[in-house]
Structure 1
Amino acid sequence: MHCSMVTGLIEMSVFPLSVVFFGNNLEVLECLDSVSNIVAVFTRPDDGSNENVNSIKKFSAFSGIPVFQPSKKELYDHADFLQKADPDIIIVCGYKFIIPKEIFSIPRNGTINIHPSMLPRYRGQHVINWAIVNGELETGVTLHFMEETLDTGDIIVQKSVPICFEDTAKELHDRIYKEACCLLKELLKYYNKQDKLQGKKQDSSVATFFKPRKPEDGHIDWSKSSVEIYNLIRALSKPWPGAFSYFKNHKVVIWKAHIEPDLSEISHGKLINVDDDYISVSTIDGQIIITEYEIISADKTIKSILLKNGDFFT
């Protein structure tokens, strides 16, 4: 369902929906603030690993919205608060912990999760990265009701998003959540709180599920095709940990690259050309041209000492 199709709902009354937000996406929070009355925000605890938390806290403080940062165990302690707050709806987007039924069942109109794929395909975590790694040409965003099993709730609305060959995960992420905000804004703007939102059951026979990616999953296998390696690089580019290789026990993180067809080299992982601006590395069916990389070492001169034509990445 596209954004324009949501407008068939009855326009809301003068009094906007009361909403509790669980998540880590500032753009979605700002979107919610423009069309609803946010009574509380729940985000991840401070651990120094996510800049979005500070942005969420600053925005909430400026808007006079109370912010809570419970641990996984502490989450249950907020059920009484949420019962008293009596929100019309809970919106979830990128929350760190699984929300228990004792909480997601509180709102009279349910809890809606924003998931960055066309469910039931790509259930699970890190699915934007997985879609690029797998060479998908299309993904999307789904607003669905939350239930106890992950990403299986009834679908309220969804929209497809194309994946361009040059897209990094960050670029695709931003486009997906721009569409999510469009869907969410239209849904809440035209939703009459006296009615109950309806969803459509997912077809589990076509569902796919993906586990969280770990940093070590970014290790490049140079025996794979140029396209597979390129997809891994763009799927893990900043702000993710990066695809990487090793050179004489030094980790080399590759941030940007492109493909150049060339079948002249047989040995994969070989450094064909080391230049000030790029490094070309052979694959089984061409070359990867690395234009931005980082060597993890305290030795600042390591590039000129170690990287030479004819050597190999492992």
Structure 2
Amino acid sequence: MRIYIVSTLNTYYDTIDIVRQNLEISGFIGLTDRHDSDAVSGYMNYAPYCRQHGITHIPVDNYSMRDEATKELLSRERIDLLLVVGWQRLIPDWLIEHSTYGAIGVHGSSRGITKGRGRSPQNWALILGHEQFQLSIFKIDPGIDSGSVIDTRTFSYDDHDDINTSYYKVAWLTGEMLVDCLSSGKIQRGEVVPQDDTPEYLPKRSPKHGAIDWRRSSREIFNFIRAQTRPYPGAFTSVSGIKCRIWAARPFALELRSNQPPGTVLKIYPNGDMIVQTGGGLLLVDDYSTESDDLNLETGLVFESADFREQMLEIAEAHQEKYPDLPLSRDILSLIC
């Protein structure tokens, strides 16, 4: 079987390597070099990897792959199966039909593939404080994450997880599922289960939606921060128009009599760690960066609070305006009501 990988994201490196170690990869479709990390978040140029392992690398210039030049280029390839792992665009119908066994994708959410179609499912799972994630590989069809399911596995989150460890878990399990289902012949035999439940969709997030609402509880802010840490732009707060990006923090369990407003810096330790008052407890901030050296962090300083509900309303309204026929996840709606 001539297996082709379609990827341009570094988060699926482990998936690709697991597949390569167990199965033969005949070709690799990626983006041309001009699509650098500024153009595609998490971009990785897999050309060196392909050279190292003797895999044919086919760079395309158009991310949508709907242009005639890309169609002419890829139509020359004899493709039995496409494994789409880290390509943030819908695969065009012509390419699916060109592949003997079609294309396999991966998606999931804390409520499974059908109830969490759409954008940023791992970020949303952590923001919402969910403790597990259901991951599926599926046959790609013209819809959004709507194809029949081949296999599903579940993993857990604990307080040590952030968006990076979530990506590690997803990549590892995806690789295992692909290898198991190809080695057993399940994919070749077309053993799938249609999605027959009513779908729900997760909306797109933008960097501006990383502003922290200090009036929320320490636990909620902890989840908000770890869901957006590096390689994302990060959760942030501001003082006098200067941003402070917070990369890591955790609830600080200490009962104190404090009448300071949420966002107040109660203590700064010699190593730079901060204790910040929240709307429900304290937060230890131990990894952060400021956009200007002019920001003098000191005890008593009060960080500005965003309005989390207003953020969610903006996100929901943008989704409903662009995709009126794709109902929002009940989890997202619960953050607005």
Whether TM exceeds 0.5 here: the answer is: yes
The answer as to 2:145 corresponding to 1:154 is: no
Greater Cα shift, 145-154 or 111-120: 111-120
Within 5 Å, give how 1:2-81 maps onto structure 2. 17-23=1-7, 24=9, 25-45=12-32, 46-49=34-37, 52-54=43-45, 56-64=46-54, 65-72=56-63, 74-76=65-67, 77-81=69-73
Aligned with residue 204 of structure 1, among 197, 204, 211: 197
Aligned with residue 174 of structure 2, among 167, 170, 180: 180
Structure 1 portions without partners, runs of 5+:
1-16
Structure 1 CA distance, aligned partners of 2:144 and 2:128?
21
Query: After superposition, what is the alpha-carbon deviation per residue over 1:72-97, rounded to whole angstroms, capped at 9, x for unaligned?
Result: 35544333444442322111011032
Query: After superposition, what is the alpha-carbon deviation per residue over 1:5-39, rounded to whole angstroms, capped at 9, x for unaligned?
Result: xxxxxxxxxxxx21111113222222222333323
Amino acid at match of 1:222: W
Residue 257 of structure 2: aligned partner: 264
Residue 237 of structure 1: aligned partner: 229
Within 5 Å, give how 1:275-314 maps onto structure 2. 275-277=269-271, 278-297=273-292, 299=293, 302=294, 306-314=296-304
The answer as to 2:102 corresponding to 1:110 is: yes
Residue 28 of structure 1: SS of its match in structure 2?
helix
8 Å Cα contact 1:121-1:209 kept in structure 2: yes
* Deviation (angstroms), 1:224: 1.1
Aligned with residue 250 of structure 1, among 242, 249, 262: 242
**Residues 241 and 225 (structure 1 numbering): CA distance in 2 closer, same or farther, change over 3 Å?**
same
Structure 1 CA distance, aligned partners of 2:233 and 2:165?
16
Amino acid at match of 2:274: I
Residue 265 of structure 1: SS of its match in structure 2?
coil
Residue 203 of structure 1: SS of its match in structure 2?
coil
8 Å Cα contact 2:249-2:283 kept in structure 1: yes
Structure 2 CA distance, aligned partners of 1:167 and 1:58?
30
Residue 164 of structure 2: aligned partner: 170
* Deviation (angstroms), 1:201: 1.1
Residue 204 of structure 1: SS of its match in structure 2?
coil
8 Å Cα contact 1:132-1:169 kept in structure 2: yes
By relative contact order (CA 8 Å, sep 6+), the higher-ranking structure is: 1
Amino acid at match of 1:203: D
Residue 136 of structure 1: SS of its match in structure 2?
coil
TM-score with structure 1 setting the length:
0.86
Query: After superposition, what is the alpha-carbon deviation per residue over 1:194-222, rounded to whole angstroms, capped at 9, x for unaligned?
Result: x53221111332x3311222111110011
TM-score with structure 2 setting the length:
0.80
* Deviation (angstroms), 1:294: 0.1
Residue 53 of structure 1: SS of its match in structure 2?
coil
Aligned with residue 228 of structure 1, among 198, 211, 220: 220
Structure 2 CA distance, aligned partners of 1:96 and 1:70?
14
**Residues 51 and 232 (structure 1 numbering): CA distance in 2 closer, same or farther, change over 3 Å?**
closer
8 Å Cα contact 2:42-2:231 kept in structure 1: no
Residue 309 of structure 2: aligned partner: none
Within 5 Å, give how 1:84-123 maps onto structure 2. 84-117=76-109, 118-123=112-117
Structure 2 CA distance, aligned partners of 1:191 and 1:79?
29
* Deviation (angstroms), 1:270: 0.9
Residue 85 of structure 1: SS of its match in structure 2?
coil
* Deviation (angstroms), 1:120: 1.2
Residue 9 of structure 1: aligned partner: none
Amino acid at match of 1:308: E
8 Å Cα contact 1:242-1:253 kept in structure 2: yes
**Residues 160 and 74 (structure 1 numbering): CA distance in 2 closer, same or farther, change over 3 Å?**
closer
Structure 1 CA distance, aligned partners of 2:211 and 2:31?
28
Residue 7 of structure 1: aligned partner: none
8 Å Cα contact 2:108-2:117 kept in structure 1: no
